[in-house]
Amino acid sequence: MIDFALPRYQVRRDAEECVGCGICVRECANGVHVARPGEKVPKADHRKCVNCLRCVLTCPTRALTITRWPQVDGGSAVWTLEYMQDIATQAASGGVLLSSMGNPLPYPVYWDHLLLNASQVTNPSIDPLREPMETRVFLGGRPVALEIDERARALRSPLPPQVKLDVPIMFSAMSFGSVSLNTQRALAMAACELGTLFNVGEGGLHRDLERYADHAVVQVASGRFGVDPRYLNAGAMVEIKIGQGAKPGIGGHLPGEKITAEVSRTRMIPEGADAISPAPHHDIYSIEDLRQLVYSLKEATRYEKPVAVKIAAVHNAAAIASGMARAGAEVIVVDGFRGGTGAAPKRIRDNVGVPVELALASIDQRLRDEGIRSTVSVVASGSIRTSADVVRAIALGADAVSCGSAPLIALGCHQCGDCSRGRCNWGIATQRPELVERLDPEEGAERVVNLVRAWTHEIQEMMGGMGINAVDSLRGNRLMLRGIGLTDRELEILGVKHAGE
């Protein structure tokens, strides 16, 4: 039987520029570049190339370029080469197609249809270089009303636990196992430096990261990996993972070959066995059951940590979020379908869920309509690409955002989408020691800190332009947004006017 699989990429080597140094051969864990005895120039096995750009960027003479495989399809907009290749792969194997990172299909990106406001003449702009500009936000539950003893200048009503973020940007949940320890180290160090939080995902807290635990969100998912009283009390916040934007309705499944001794110890599971964390928590069938888990975590942490609940952005997100708030969640995290992942079934990634912009806007509106928006914090994630996306998300109603792909790109990720194979040439989505050591956590942390500091300055400038001097005053301030190229229905859901109005 003929193998129907075509290479996805073509590796082009400029024979004049190539000096035969062999760096590409050593750098590619996929084995694309093959040295040939007696030949100066290596040969490329195009089928193995995933377009991670490791060889391109490490080639000292820039002799390498990756292009798309030049084969054309039959010209049909229906039977594209990609669909035919998927069919060939499944016909040969009987397997569920696995993919990585977020939904790549050209669905509308609403961020790109939302324009920001700036003040002119009245309510003048504020210059962030000279004037104070508050980017600090607090996450946690809030009482409906505050009682204050004015004489004693003290709060009379107890305030639920809060976490302070110096910038409204956190790092999304990425577990040790799906990413390398050096990746987590870099994000943890950056979070401490920036005064924000990283999130250990559902992979437990590695002992080397315990020193950063006061800047960690510790996650509890259905498999309860690594969850014990010490873990729950180590973090700044506890997050119940119900769903993830990249694969709504699908759980975590770390294959046995990635459960190394270290991963096993950190997740507190057997070495080499599949780590299965299915989508349903089998103790949660209702909002009341969610409430039971929320309060078990509050009891285990003596009511000293905010409890967050994370869901994927799905059709009924607003009603679900209302239930979450009533179940005792103090932080509601909504993750859109462009959010990244180490591994997701391709058909789920590409077809399930909704854009976070729509879900966020409808959640914020629903909680306002019900008069409970002020009692909880809302965090949005799933394709926050720039500081302008952060500003848009906050103006649509988020207290803060979480970013996963952007900090990974700062660390060297080139979005090749091959995370699940565990051969990440950049040392991010891998447990192979020789690859992990390619990522220097200190250098990585510095790059992530640079990125977030640059974004923060841009956020200050955009807020200053609007005449706003605190993130708190931007939150839910949809008058600062105008839609462009959107239908009336889209504008209604987003709660914004059209540009020109």
Residue numbers at the binding site for other proteins (CB under 8 A) = 89-90, 93-99, 222-224, 227-230, 232, 253, 255-256, 264-265, 267-276, 278, 282-283, 292, 295-296, 299-300, 302, 343, 345, 418, 420-421
* Planar angle of CA 414, 96, 172, nearest 5 degrees: 40
| 171 closest CA partner among 451, 396, 415 | 451
Between residues 272 and 467, which has the closer beta carbon with respect to other proteins?
272
Q: How far is the CB of 431 from other proteins (least distance, A)?
A: 16
- Cβ contact 481:462 at 8 Å: no
Rounded alpha-carbon distances, angstroms, from residue 283 to 111, 307, 466: 36, 17, 47
The DSSP element (H or E) to which 395 belongs, if any, is helix 387-395
Q: How far is the CB of 80 from other proteins (least distance, A)?
A: 19
Between residues 23 and 416, which has the closer beta carbon with respect to other proteins?
416
Residues with Cβ within 8 Å of 75's Cβ and at least 6 positions away in sequence, in order, are none
Question: Would you state the structure tokens that stand for residue 7, as one six-digit string?
Answer: 């290479």
Between residues 190 and 250, which has the closer beta carbon with respect to other proteins?
250
- Pairing label, strands 481-483, 9-13: unpaired
- Cβ contact 216:284 at 8 Å: no
N-terminal to C-terminal alpha carbon distance within the chain: 62
Question: Would you state the structure tokens that stand for residue 294, as one six-digit string?
Answer: 């929320």
Residues with Cβ within 8 Å of 287's Cβ and at least 6 positions away in sequence, in order, are 323, 324, 326, 327
Between residues 89 and 469, which has the closer beta carbon with respect to other proteins?
89
Question: Would you state the structure tokens that stand for residue 259, as one six-digit string?
Answer: 């459960």
Between residues 46 and 265, which has the closer beta carbon with respect to other proteins?
265
SS3 20: coil
- Pairing label, strands 275-277, 252-254: antiparallel
Q: How far is the CB of 94 from other proteins (least distance, A)?
A: 8
Between residues 275 and 445, which has the closer beta carbon with respect to other proteins?
275
Q: How far is the CB of 314 from other proteins (least distance, A)?
A: 23
Q: How far is the CB of 232 from other proteins (least distance, A)?
A: 7
Between residues 17 and 274, which has the closer beta carbon with respect to other proteins?
274
Q: How far is the CB of 213 from other proteins (least distance, A)?
A: 17
| 481 closest CA partner among 123, 109, 106, 112 | 112
Q: How far is the CB of 275 from other proteins (least distance, A)?
A: 8
Between residues 6 and 479, which has the closer beta carbon with respect to other proteins?
6
Q: How far is the CB of 276 from other proteins (least distance, A)?
A: 6
